[in-house]
Chain A
Amino acid sequence: MKPPPVVYHGPDTVQEAVRLLAEHGGHAKVLAGGQSLVPMLNMRLTAPARLIDVNRLDELAYVRTDLEGVRVGALARHADVERATHAFEAVPLLRQAVRSVAHPTIRNRGTTVGSLVHADPCAEMPAVLLLLDGEVLLRSDRAGERVVKAADFFVGPMESACEEDELAIEAYFPRPKGRTGTDWRELSRRNGDYAMCGVGTSVRVDETGAVTSAKAAYIGMGPVPSVVDVTGADFSAAAEHAADQLDPEDDIHASAEYRRHLARVLTARSLKAAYEAVAP
């Protein structure tokens, strides 16, 4: 299991990276953390003619928090997101969810933005971006910079809105508004495996503790990560409602029906936990 031959580019600047993408876009893959790409190369399941290695783009190795939310640069590793206390304080869901991404050693190298672009429907961070109504900043020679809303970013299984000539520069995770509690939970076969079902929830309450908004995001439950608005229902009804919206598939680890059942159970548990985090 050795990767096929490939031409390598290791740009030192974003500008150079974007220029290389403009030149080779259709035949090149961006190599960031490589925790999904390199296994596929090793197994020869993919064979791009060129790799554009963005690991020298130190300018993108940041996790910044401001009044609006958290901005994660393309070279920030999952571990950087996990460790950034300011990011956790602003957007607790980031740390809640990123801890379920594989194992620490994978998180040390894998990048959050890379995971978004990879758009694996079983991965945690796309669902987080979706639940928080985040955005991804893309850049290309052709179109300059553009911002894509999470709702438009995950277009299919393993397919994001990032075009072949575009480099994802940054992901933006807005602070939840008002009094919002969040929670992440999932059930996987082994610790660190892809979840049979993963649920992230966000519950906003008013001063009296009444729920004004409730949403749940899912992984492993369909071809793309999905969000269901469950505002207005009690948590168990909300869980039923949400599970009905999902379209999971059978695989060797869990039946579709079981996944849907898990969605029900985990959604109710998760909404409760998110609510209790902020309930007066």
Chain B
Amino acid sequence: MNDKLVGQPLVRKEDPRLLRGDGRYLDDLGRGALAAAFVRSPVAHARITGIDVDEALDVEGLVAIYTHEDLPGRIAEPLPLLIPHPDLTHPRTPYCLANGEVNHVGEAVVMVVATDRYLAEDVAERIRVTYEDLPPVVGIDQARAGERLVHEDAPGNVAARSVQTNGKGEAHEAIASAPHRLALDLHIERSASMPMEGKGVLAHWDADDRTLRVHSSTQTSTSVRLAVAAKLELPPDRVEVITPDVGGGFGVKIVHPWPEEILVPWAAMTLGRDVKWVEDRREHFTSSAHERAQQQHVEVGFDEAGRLLGLSVEIWHDNGAYVPYGIIVPIVTSTQLLGPYKVGAYRVEFTSLYTNTVIVTPYRGAGRPQGVFAMERTMDAIAEYLGMDRLAVREANLIQPEEMPYDQGLVFQDGRPLIYDSGDYPTMLRMIRDLVGWDGFEAERAAAAAEGRRIGIGIGAYVEGTGMGPYEGAHVKVETTGEVVVSTGLTTQGQGHYTSLAQIAADVLGVGVGDVTVITGDTRRFKYAVGTFASRAIVTSGNAVAIAAAKVAEKAKRIAAAALGDGVAPEDLELVDGRVRRRADPATAIDLRTVAVLSNPLRYAFDEETKAATQFAAATATGEEPGLEATGYYMPERSTYAAGAHGVVVETDPETADIRILRYCVVHDCGVVVNPRIVEGQVHGGVAQGIGGALYERIVYDDAGQLVNASYMDFLIPFATEVPHIQTAHMVTASGLNPLGLKGAGEAGVIPTSAVVASAIEDAEGLAVRRMPISPSELYELRKARQARKEQVSA
């Protein structure tokens, strides 16, 4: 146990429960609760002219039907704007239930409560809502045209327009005066987080105690609590929010309060009955959130060596019908676009546009995949233009290790300066070069060509701001049984926090990981937290756990010193193997559990153990608060910056245009790694989502604003057969910003995948790939267009 647990690839403590089928996800709770279902808009943009419930009234099991008219007080007001920003000049947020107008297919119009979900759907099916159609705005082109408006009072459909420059000169001038210039127009289509478990809410109102207990499948229980309390006009201390096991989040569950998170608790209070709503897959497609869709125009100026002198990027970002989460996604795109590169003078302008589609909020990567796509497509275009090796162009622009910390001169999504804290990007590129076989690739290509096969290689890098504030906290307590209980306000959705946070606490307290129980996402246990998103949990909560555990260790030493007497001072002691012992004389020791007993001086013993803490027994420390416990918070000064590089080899079928990934390689630096097994799993999962986004997944709306592929039949999440073997290599540049040296890892895998796959396809095919995702059918169209151009030229 003297070996540190941080850094070890331990198996997860939470697994046996989940593997036995003993997990408790939202829908596993509240058996017997009333069930809610919703009548949702079937049209993209319309005025509601009538709601007729007559046919629904004789459904057996019906309990209640609610429309906007029924909602009292603040519940009838629009949902909050979670992240205001000065550039967000025309923010619009939805109502819990549509107030006279619907702005996307799937928007909630009527809430139904019945004795079970089958019956609730029977009721919903019989409610007749009549609509007067308004012209829908679908897609960025239509939004930009501004001829039709989503919100009458948001001219040009513009929610926000924002410009940032990096203070390194005027970008347009730098580009104009550069020896070489290029311009690129790029497109990324819509996708979605699509966790395997949808959202869900269960509410219990205790009328005697006047407390509301809400379970929600969320990424932020503490913030849901505050939002619910505000909307329902309850004192926050009367509201408890508990996050049970969560079947994946990937960003969509950080948004809150969802209409259902307000309506279900309100219905439970109103009806005096437990009420549960479980989002089904179709609802998840049409009424949660999407991401990714952007158009980009890039102008770049560079020299003979491929060094960037000026970069100007314009982004048109589709934010859907409302902006409850503000403009975080395009801010992230604009700022993280720069990656590991020095770009000279930089100007970025984004326009965030309303469309009559589902709202757009962060999905794993949160705008970074789009930014990296722009940057890395630009790098490849420069290489092509100059006839240079693609890796060499990247190397020519890298920030060097000795330039750290490196100030990119921008303001990041946390409102703090975008300063890279650490990193070694040249080593990172060398590692990916070796791992993917860059240098030997031409031989590989020739060998494949000799067999009539067509292959290509792609490479790309990114930097990811992680571990942002404002803070996370933890409460650490040693029980008299010796069990260490770590409570954090963070939620968890499969990232293994029950194990990784236990590793951190165990190291500090000198106990085994099996002695530590981690509690997450339960506001009864810990009230102050931000949430699990933006690759921040291990950095912020991990350090908070370490800080709280260190306080507990110090207290344990003080109490132990008093108990051991004989001139033992706290500073002589260490915590090892579940004991507090003298460094100089390890035989002089006291069990940590005994210290826990002594930490709570008792008048009354309640078992054999606790006799030791009563007044006529041994000496107890004076001046201590009772309990071997402490609370600690970690408040980062600014974000840490993780980084990575990916390489991929693809094969394209010369005839069918089928696209197959032959190998996928990742070099990843997230600073000090707490649990390598878990980090590797995070990378794998991210890459799989990235491959989904590159080759398979897209959310498709037709001109009328109907989401035409709202099912797993047609929204193509990769199966195992579509995800290749992923090779990973790790490097560690510890962050100096936090005591543990951590950087976040949650989103890493997904970030550069579309960029590198596009690069490899471009390499295989010798044609420009400017839009992702790409399907075989689209590759076929690109080939045809090239053929047509060739024929035109030869004619």
Contact = CB atoms under 8 A, between A and B. Distances in A.
Nearest to A266: B656
Interface in B115-147: 117-118, 121-122, 125
A142 interface: no
Contacts of B708: 252
A254 B696 CA distance: 12
A190 B122 contact: no
Nearest to A268: B655
Given A1-B281, A190-B696, A266-B656, A253 B718 contact: no
A156 interface: no
A44 B655 CA distance: 41
B777 A1 contact: no
B118 A258 contact: no
A252 B714 contact: yes
Interface in A1-49: 1-5, 43-44
Nearest to B118: A2
A262 B121 CA distance: 42
Contacts of A266: 656
Contacts of B776: 187, 196, 254, 258
B117 A258 contact: no
Given A190-B718, A191-B722, A258 B777 contact: yes
Given A2-B121, A5-B118, A252-B709, 10 more contacts: A1-B121, A1-B280, A2-B118, A5-B122, A190-B719, A191-B719, A191-B722, A193-B716, A194-B713, A262-B656
Contacts of B117: 2
Interface string B392-413: 0000000000000000000000
Contacts of B775: 189, 253-254
B581 to A, nearest CB: 56
B1 to A, nearest CB: 45
Contacts of A85: none
Given A187-B656, A189-B696, A196-B776, A44 B718 contact: no
Given A190-B722, A192-B719, A43 B282 contact: yes
A213 interface: no
Contacts of A258: 657, 776-777, 780-781
A159 to B, nearest CB: 20
Contacts of A3: 118
B737 interface: no
Contacts of A196: 776-777
B658 interface: yes
Nearest to B784: A257
Interface string B690-734: 000000101010000000110101101011011000000000000
Contacts of A262: 656
Interface of B: 117-118, 121-122, 125, 280-282, 655-658, 696, 698, 700, 708-709, 711, 713-714, 716, 718-719, 721-722, 775-777, 780-781
A4 B122 contact: yes
A255 interface: yes
| Best-surrounded residue of B117, B656, B657, B780 (most CB of chain A within 10 A) | B656
Contacts of A148: none
Interface residues of A, number: 25
Nearest to A256: B777
Interface string A189-210: 1111110100000000000000
B482 to A, nearest CB: 46
A213 B118 CA distance: 55
Contact of B777 (A44, A192, A194, A255): A255
A187 B657 CA distance: 10
Contacts of A192: 719, 721
A147 interface: no
Contacts of B718: 190
Contacts of B118: 2-3, 5
B700 A190 contact: no
A46 to B, nearest CB: 13
B781 A255 contact: yes
A86 interface: no
Contacts of B121: 1-2, 4, 44
B156 to A, nearest CB: 29
A4 B780 contact: no
Interface string A244-280: 0000000011110110011001100000000000000
A190 B718 CA distance: 7
22 contacts: A1-B280, A3-B118, A4-B121, A4-B125, A5-B122, A44-B121, A44-B125, A189-B716, A189-B775, A191-B722, A193-B713, A193-B716, A194-B713, A252-B698, A252-B708, A253-B714, A253-B775, A253-B777, A254-B776, A255-B777, A258-B777, A258-B781
Contacts of B714: 252-253
Contact of A191 (B282, B721, B777): B721
Contacts of B282: 1, 43
A265 B125 contact: no
Nearest to B655: A265
A-B pairs, top 5 by smallest CB distance, nearest first, are: A191-B721, A254-B777, A258-B777, A1-B280, A2-B118
Contacts of B658: 187
Contacts of A253: 714, 716, 775, 777
A120 to B, nearest CB: 12
A192 to B, nearest CB: 7
Given A252-B700, A253-B775, A190 B721 contact: yes
Interface string A105-145: 00000000000000000000000000000000000000000
Contacts of A265: 655-656
B712 to A, nearest CB: 10
Nearest to B124: A44
A43 B713 CA distance: 13
A179 B711 CA distance: 44
Contacts of A191: 719, 721-722
Nearest to A194: B713
B224 to A, nearest CB: 25
A39 B776 CA distance: 28
A243 to B, nearest CB: 13
Contacts of A2: 117-118, 121
Nearest to B654: A265
| Best-surrounded residue of A5, A44, A253 (most CB of chain B within 10 A) | A253
A234 B59 CA distance: 65
| Best-surrounded residue of A2, A44, A266 (most CB of chain B within 10 A) | A2
B197 to A, nearest CB: 14
Contacts of A261: 780
Nearest to A192: B719
Contacts of A1: 121, 280-282
B716 A190 contact: yes
B676 to A, nearest CB: 31
B524 to A, nearest CB: 33
Nearest to A197: B656
A211 B50 CA distance: 68
| Best-surrounded residue of A3, A189, A266 (most CB of chain B within 10 A) | A189
A255 B780 CA distance: 10
A266 B653 CA distance: 12
A206 B777 CA distance: 38
Contacts of B781: 255, 258
B115 to A, nearest CB: 13
A232 B615 CA distance: 106
Contacts of B281: 1
A280 B515 CA distance: 72
B678 to A, nearest CB: 28
Nearest to B117: A2
A187 B698 CA distance: 19
A192 B280 CA distance: 23
Nearest to B120: A2
A255 B696 CA distance: 15
A2 B777 CA distance: 35
A210 B281 CA distance: 54
B50 to A, nearest CB: 22
A198 to B, nearest CB: 13
Nearest to B695: A189
